[in-house]
């Protein structure tokens, strides 16, 4: 048999599930979900990719968690990707002996380099260039927008600010500087250590926080290339500079994350939906995977049900045909992590049946391989194929097929590359199988059809269309095959 016995076990779809969700779900792991029991529940509920947030995870805990994810996924016979999300160059307040209760109109000093302030309220900040980079009149956003400040005065190593919104300022709170070009490195020393950890543990994706320009992505890719590491780079768009350089970043990265948490602090709120739509569209047109992330079901951290606005938010991302939608605190620390995935799954399935934005119609498919896949896509649509099948060693065939967003036929990718298998879990609509390719490539198609029939993913009398290779006079040629299931 050219297919390994694991080919069925490592499928991402259980037998009999013929109408599956195409939009992938990413779930952040944390204290609420990092046990083997909870991981099993998340995977069975529909988690496709597990996210490890390196802002909170340590090296030893990450090693153990990666092993645990792989073990549970293997036990369940599912392919689950692992995304390591780097902390990035975060600006934070320092430690406070006592939290500060701030009222509108009050003054607070932000100090750097250990400056001692005469103001009644002050806190140190870990970014030494803060005073140089910011201007009088600029706004400082603290703790994900809970506290907003306006800069009144600059003096040596201190900013004097007016409090605009009431809030309680605690230790090590995140700071955003909307519209300010900060002079922080693309990769911190911690990030570089975490990249090495990601390579060591064999994660599938590395997400780069606060990506501002294509050169940032290039720096991370250079590390991976030097180590001959297979990880894919996901660039996170989190500030105005990243949005200004979005097309160059899309070209440089393997995928994009619209990280709406920090982005919502950095950009006018009314612009955020437009930015999301434009980025998703640009990624689909260019053929790069795109993730919509943050605050999707935020109320479910505490509540068993989402708000109607959250349902609509998830639905919009699915309708735009983003490759994946992501849960953060909802699954890492929330009270209802499994239910969050179940609700996302329900919303996505229903919205997918209603159609999509159609951005893939504008796809610029210039390569011969992409055009071949497009021809197979058209054929599968014309004959109402029960399956569109691709065979891939490096992922390009599966990538090209997902790029087209085929709504009419389920998409199955067969690969003999175990590293690639889990990376395919992020692509829209792709169900991956790990196989051992036969010496005779034409028999791969026959065995694929046989396996899909065994799993009740195709039925007798239905058509299957595949992009594969055939042997013509000793030379392998890419071609399109169609077969009626017997």
SS (H, E, C) the chain: CCCCCHHHHCCCCCCCCCCCCCCEEEEECCCCCCCHHHHHHHHHHCCCEEEEECCCCCHHHHHHHHHHHHHHHHHHCCCCEEEEECCCCCEEECCCCCCEEECCCCEEEEECCCCCCCCCCEEEECCCCHHHHCCCCCEEEECCCCEEEEEEEEECCEEEEEECCCEEECCCCEEECCCCCCCCCCCCHHHHHHHHHHHHHCCCEEEECCCCCHHHHHHHHHHHHHCCCCCEEEEEECCHHHHHCHHHHHHHCCEEEEEHHHHHHHCCHHHHHHHHHHHHHHHHHHCCCEEEECCCCHHHHCCCCCCHHHHHHHHHHHHCCCCEEEECHHHHCCCCHHHHHHHHHHHHHHHHHCCCCCHHHHCCCCCHHHHHHHHHHHHHHHCCCCEEEEECCCCHHHHHHHHCCCCCCCEEEEECCHHHHHHHHHCCCEEEEECCCCCCHHHHHHHHHHHHHHCCCCCCCCEEEEEEEEEECCEEEEEEEEEECC
**Cα 180 from Cα 163, distance rounded (Å):** 19
Largest CA distance in the chain: 85
Distances in whole angstroms, Cα of residue 30 to Cα of each of 57, 81, 94, 178: 8, 16, 24, 29
With beta carbons less than 8 A apart as the criterion, state whether 333 and 29 touch.
no
Angle between helices 308-319 and 337-353 (to 10 degrees): 50
* β-pair type (290-293, 255-259): parallel
**Cα 454 from Cα 77, distance rounded (Å):** 15
Which residue, chain included where needed, has tokens 């030893």? 60
Distances in whole angstroms, Cα of residue 393 to Cα of each of 41, 378, 462: 31, 23, 27
Q: Name the residues annotated as catalytic.
A: 51, 92, 236, 294
Distances in whole angstroms, Cα of residue 89 to Cα of each of 38, 185, 211: 31, 7, 10
């Amino acid at each position: 048999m050219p297919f390994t016995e694991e080919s069925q076990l490592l499928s991402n779809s259980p037998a009999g599930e013929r109408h599956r969700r195409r939009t992938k779900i990413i779930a952040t792991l944390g204290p609420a979900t990092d046990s083997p029991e909870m991981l099993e529940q998340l995977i069975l509920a529909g988690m496709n990719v597990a996210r490890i947030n390196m802002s909170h995870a340590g090296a030893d805990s990450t090693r153990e968690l990666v092993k645990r994810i792989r073990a549970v996924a293997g036990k369940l016979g599912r392919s689950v990707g692992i995304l390591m999300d780097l902390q990035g160059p975060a600006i934070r307040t320092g430690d406070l002996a006592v939290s500060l209760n701030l009222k509108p109109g009050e003054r607070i000093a932000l100090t750097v380099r250990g400056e001692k302030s005469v103001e009644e309220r002050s806190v140190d900040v870990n970014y030494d260039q803060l005073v140089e980079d910011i201007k009088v009149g600029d706004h400082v956003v603290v703790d994900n927008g809970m506290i907003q400040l306006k800069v009144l005065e600059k003096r040596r190593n201190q900013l004097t600010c007016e409090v605009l919104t009431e809030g309680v300022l605690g230790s090590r709170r995140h700071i955003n500087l909307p519209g300010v070009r900060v002079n922080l490195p693309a990769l911190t020393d911690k990030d570089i250590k975490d990249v090495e950890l990601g390579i060591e543990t064999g994660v599938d994706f590395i997400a780069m926080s606060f990506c501002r320009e294509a050169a940032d992505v290039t720096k991370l890719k250079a590390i991976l290339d030097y180590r001959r590491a297979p990880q894919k780079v996901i660039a996170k768009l989190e500030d105005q500079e990243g949005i200004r350089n979005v097309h160059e970043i899309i070209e440089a990265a393997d995928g994009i994350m619209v990280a709406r948490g920090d982005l919502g602090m950095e950009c006018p709120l009314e612009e955020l939906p437009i930015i999301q739509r434009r980025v998703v569209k640009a990624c689909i047109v260019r053929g790069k995977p795109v993730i919509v992330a943050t605050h999707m079901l935020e109320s479910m951290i505490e509540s068993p049900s989402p708000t109607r606005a959250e349902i609509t938010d998830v639905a919009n991302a699915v309708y735009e045909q983003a490759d994946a939608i992501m849960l953060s605190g909802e699954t890492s620390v929330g009270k209802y992590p499994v239910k969050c995935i179940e609700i996302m799954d329900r919303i996505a399935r229903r919205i997918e049946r209603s159609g999509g934005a159609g951005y893939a119609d504008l796809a610029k498919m210039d390569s011969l391989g992409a055009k071949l896949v497009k021809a197979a896509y058209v054929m599968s649509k014309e004959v109402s194929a029960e399956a569109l099948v691709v065979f891939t060693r490096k992922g390009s065939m599966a990538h090209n097929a997902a790029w087209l967003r085929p709504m009419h036929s389920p998409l199955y990718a067969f690969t003999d590359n175990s590293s690639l298998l889990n990376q395919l879990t992020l692509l829209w609509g792709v169900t991956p199988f790990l196989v051992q390719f036969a010496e005779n490539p034409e028999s791969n198609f026959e065995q694929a059809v046989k396996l899909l029939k065994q799993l009740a993913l195709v039925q007798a009398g239905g058509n299957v269309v595949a992009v594969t290779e055939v042997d013509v006079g000793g030379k392998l040629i890419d071609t399109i095959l169609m077969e009626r299931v017997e």
